[in-house]
Amino acid sequence: MNEISLLLQDLLADLLRIEVLRQFAALGLAFGAWLVLKAQLKLEHRPWPQEKRWPWLALVKPLANETLLWLCLAGASTWLVTTTGVGDLARYLTSFYAICLLSRFGLVVLRLYIPSKVVKATDLRVIRPLLLLIGVLLFYSQFADLNQLWSTQVLHWGNDHLTFGALIMLVFGTYFVIAGAELPALAAAEVMRRAFEMNGPTHRASALVIRYGLAAFGLVLILAYVGVNPTLLAAVGGGLSVGLGFGLKEVFSNFVSGLWLLLEGAIRPGDVLLLESGKGEDPCEVLELGMRATTLWRDRDNVELVVPNQTFFTQAMVTYSGLRDRRRRGQVLIGAAYRHPPETVIALLEVTALTIPRVLHQPAPKGLLLRYDDSAITYAIRYWIENPMDGVGVASEVGIAVWNAFHREGIEIPFPQRVLHGAPSLPGSADSQ
């Protein structure tokens, strides 16, 4: 650490050199000029010529001020280099800003092809921190030998040591590998989807598997770069397994369950299932299969349920999107008076169900006489729907349609009736008197 401190002192001394300060001053002036120009031009708010003719202009319009800043910086650094011959530091900062700006343009283009949410998350979690890290390291390299810093030993234990570079790779490399694997995984999965005509859930599952694969591969590379001794790894693994046996049991169990579910394909993002606790009424859609837990969406109340992965191993589940298809069968029970012929009622029920748009014609709805109850004959109309999430909604529509049809055809829906007979009066009672 002492060596790092000396290197930083050197950096500070270099930053205070007159020619360096002169370059910063030039960039500062350029920044001031940009502030003035930005306020005067209002580029992002005023209409641009040909804006309606070329819709892509609207996409890059939010970057107009940033581009203007780059132009100001580039002008200042070029002026410095041509007049004094000393300006490579300013030129470096300008070039780096240009790279940042290019990444912003790249993200605008990416948004056209990849969900905006993913692009934004990648930008915030990966691209900006990565650019910041690279920028800091390259800025340092302008002043001193980055290789020297990279190979400086910062941690010692026994005969082993950790260099600054290895530490950076361990901390930031690991973070970027894990956080940055999502976008390339999505791109690869998209290619696979088109090549192999995958359906939605399979596509999303493959994206997740690729993401984990990329992250695992990256981690192995980082460990190899750091030079982790296989024996040490085995020792750490041994220690970890003891830890897993106690404190981390649940976490590890959930992680392995998640991997198993992915590989097995029993649950994939996009699947619709009923948890045992769901009473069969509220199907949930699998949004994301995470490392520890699975996120489900329940449309009834629009909540996201975070369910530990091992739940799917310990509880029975009903899924509508298993191996065969995603269709779900629904039914509505209804009673009709005894006087109506069952054939008439059943035919009416089947015709009525077909009038509901979301009820499938094939397999056709099926009416059934279920039982003779006290006040009515109970019938069931059973029908199939395409989207299992629509079960409650379609049942309601079918119920309403049946009531209207019965009302129109004069079929009575009897409610339970009970005839009460009074008990005969006893001699000597008040009534008899």
Partner 1 sequence: MGQSRLLAMVLALSGLLTGCGSSGTTGISELGSSITVLAELSSKADPIEQARVQELLQREIKEFKRINPRLSIRFRAIPSDRLEQELNYRTQRGLGPDLLLLESNRDLINLQEKVYISPVVLSNQEQSNFRSTYLGQLRYRGQQLAVPFVVIPALACFDRRQLPQSPQTLAAIIRLGQQNHSFGLNSSSDGLDEVMSGFGIELFHGKTASSTNNNQVLNALQWYREANLQPHISFVDNDEELRQGLIAGRFEWIPCYSGWLPSLQKALGTNLGIAILPAGPGGPSKPLVRTPLWVFGAQSSTRQRQIAKEFVMFTTNVVNQRGMALELGTVLPVNPSIELPLKAYPTLAVMDAAIKNVTLTTLEQKHFLLQNAKKAGAWVNQVITGVQSPSAVAPKIQALFEAMPTTGSQP
- Nearest approach, Cβ of residue 25 and partner 1 (Å): 4
- Which residue number, 23 or 122, has a Cβ lying nearer to partner 1? 23
Write the interaction track for partner 1 spanning residues 213-242; mark x where CB under 8 A is met and - where it is not: ------------------------------
- Applying CB under 8 A, among 4, 8, 25, 347 the residue interacting with partner 1 is 25
**Edge-first strand listing for the sheet containing 317-319:** 303-308, 293-298, 284-289, 272-275, 317-319
- Nearest approach, Cβ of residue 13 and partner 1 (Å): 4
Helix ranges (H only) for 302-359 are 311-314, 342-354
| Contact (CB, 8 A) for 385 and 327 | yes
- Nearest approach, Cβ of residue 151 and partner 1 (Å): 16
- Nearest approach, Cβ of residue 17 and partner 1 (Å): 6
Q: Which residues of 109-138 are buried (b: 16+ CB within 10 A; e: fewer)?
A: ebbeebeeeebeebbebbbebbeeeebeee
Cis peptide before 363 (omega within 30 of 0): yes
**Edge-first strand listing for the sheet containing 377-385:** 328-336, 377-385, 366-372
Could you give the CA distance from residue 87 to residue 27 in angstroms, rounded to a whole number?
10
- Which residue number, 32 or 237, has a Cβ lying nearer to partner 1? 32
Closest CA to 280 of 308, 320, 310, 309: 320
- Which residue number, 48 or 143, has a Cβ lying nearer to partner 1? 143
Distances (CA, A) of 368 to 340, 353, 361, 372: 14, 13, 17, 12
- Which residue number, 19 or 160, has a Cβ lying nearer to partner 1? 19
The DSSP secondary-structure symbol of 108 reads H
- Nearest approach, Cβ of residue 293 and partner 1 (Å): 48
Write the interaction track for partner 1 spanning residues 133-162; mark x where CB under 8 A is met and - where it is not: ---------xx-------------------
| Contact (CB, 8 A) for 96 and 73 | no
Instruction: Tell me which residues in 86-105 interact with partner 1 (CB under 8 A).
Output: 86-89, 92
Cis peptide before 365 (omega within 30 of 0): no
- Nearest approach, Cβ of residue 201 and partner 1 (Å): 54
- Nearest approach, Cβ of residue 28 and partner 1 (Å): 5
- Which residue number, 20 or 114, has a Cβ lying nearer to partner 1? 20
- Which residue number, 75 or 278, has a Cβ lying nearer to partner 1? 75
Helix ranges (H only) for 114-199 are 116-122, 128-143, 146-150, 164-168, 174-180, 182-196
- Nearest approach, Cβ of residue 166 and partner 1 (Å): 24
Helix ranges (H only) for 197-318 are 200-226, 230-245, 249-264, 311-314
- Which residue number, 37 or 307, has a Cβ lying nearer to partner 1? 37
> Which residues, in sequence order, are CB contacts of 337 under 8 Å at separation 6+?
376, 377, 411, 412, 413, 414
- Applying CB under 8 A, among 35, 102, 124, 370 the residue interacting with partner 1 is 35
- Nearest approach, Cβ of residue 136 and partner 1 (Å): 16
**Tokens of residue 120, six digits:** 């934004």
Angle between helices 249-264 and 200-226 (to 10 degrees): 130
| Contact (CB, 8 A) for 216 and 163 | no
Instruction: Tell me which residues in 4-23 interact with partner 1 (CB under 8 A).
Output: 9-10, 13-14, 16-23
- Nearest approach, Cβ of residue 202 and partner 1 (Å): 53
**Tokens of residue 402, six digits:** 């049946």
Is residue 78 close enough to count as binding partner 1 by CB under 8 A?
no
- Which residue number, 19 or 325, has a Cβ lying nearer to partner 1? 19
Could you give the CA distance from residue 386 to residue 327 in angstroms, rounded to a whole number?
5
The stretch near partner 1 (CB under 8 A) out of 83-91, 126-134, 199-207, 246-254 is: 83-91
- Which residue number, 19 or 250, has a Cβ lying nearer to partner 1? 19
- Which residue number, 88 or 390, has a Cβ lying nearer to partner 1? 88
- Nearest approach, Cβ of residue 12 and partner 1 (Å): 9
Which is it for strands 272-275 and 317-319: parallel, antiparallel or unpaired?
A: antiparallel
- Which residue number, 48 or 92, has a Cβ lying nearer to partner 1? 92
| Contact (CB, 8 A) for 396 and 385 | no
Using CB under 8 A as the criterion, which residues of the chain lie in contact with partner 1 when the complex forms?
A: 9-10, 13-14, 16-23, 25-26, 28-29, 32, 35, 85-89, 92, 142-143
